[in-house]
């Protein structure tokens, strides 16, 4: 089955949608993702330019206990940060083929000892693990964003419950 972003999805086991009303709330959602992440997790981010993929990644990095500031690695393609585990932050905006991902050695990161976060994951569909957490971000208004989470495993259920509690208490 194809999603709106072109990522091939198996019938998802988990689906959740959240509205973020500010960049700070988007980072707070990301922080929860980072807190619940375990080594080997892959988070696939999709959405148009300026929707908040890097902002969410900044929160994920803080959730891993790092004070680093994640910046979009559009030109370097892969940035590595360190918290309680490595964060491999990839931007595939300029990558358009499986061959290019092979040249970059992306598969090694996906099987690595850290958390892999991939912006523009829909540019190279079909190379990511089926159990990846997929997050599509849509612009709702100038500040509001819709974050749609899908996963083919229930491993992320606690994370989604924590995000639900955080967003409903705001």
- pLDDT for 12 equals 65
Query: Which of 27-41, 50-64, 98-112, 140-154 has the lowest average pLDDT?
Result: 98-112
Check whether 4 has a pLDDT greater than 50: no
CATH-assigned architecture of domain 14-168: 3-Layer(aba) Sandwich (3.40)
For 109, the token pair is 């990161």
Residues 47, 169 contacting (CB under 8 angstroms) = no
| Beta-carbon count within 10 A of 157 CB | 14
CB 40 within 8 A of CB 46: no
- Residue 22, by phi and psi: left (phi above 0), alpha (psi -120 to 50) or beta? beta
Q: Which CA distances in Å does 41 have to 23, 94, 99? A: 24, 23, 23
Question: pLDDT band at 76, cuts 50/70/90?
Answer: low
What Cα–Cα distance (Å) separates residue 146 from each residue in 6, 34, 53, 74, 136?
A: 18, 19, 12, 23, 8
Domains of the chain by residue range: 14-168
Q: Which of 135, 156, 165 shows the shortest CA–CA distance to 147?
A: 135
pLDDT tens per residue, range 13-60? 889 999 999 999 999 999 999 999 999 999 999 999 989 999 999 999
Mean pLDDT, all residues of the chain: 87
- Between CA 23 and CA 83 the distance in angstroms is 22
Within 13 Å and on the Cβ side, how many CA atoms surround 110? 18
pLDDT greater than 60 at residue 3: no
Q: Which two three-digit tokens encode residue 42? A: 């892959």
């Amino acid at each position: 089955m194809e999603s709106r972003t072109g990522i091939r999805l198996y019938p998802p086991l988990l689906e959740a949608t959240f509205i973020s009303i500010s960049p700070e709330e988007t980072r707070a959602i990301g922080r929860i993702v980072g807190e619940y992440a375990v080594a080997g997790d892959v988070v696939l981010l999709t959405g148009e330019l300026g929707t908040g993929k890097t902002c969410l990644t900044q929160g994920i990095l803080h959730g891993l206990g790092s004070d680093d500031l994640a910046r979009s690695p559009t030109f370097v393609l892969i940035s590595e940060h360190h918290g309680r585990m490595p964060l491999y932050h990839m931007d595939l905006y300029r990558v358009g083929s499986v061959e290019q991902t092979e040249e970059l050695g992306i598969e090694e990161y996906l099987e690595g000892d850290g958390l892999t976060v991939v912006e523009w994951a829909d540019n190279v569909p079909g190379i990511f693990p089926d159990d990846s957490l997929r997050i599509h971000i849509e612009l709702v208004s100038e500040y509001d964003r819709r974050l749609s989470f899908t996963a083919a495993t229930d491993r992320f259920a606690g994370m989604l419950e924590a995000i639900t509690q955080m967003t409903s208490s705001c």
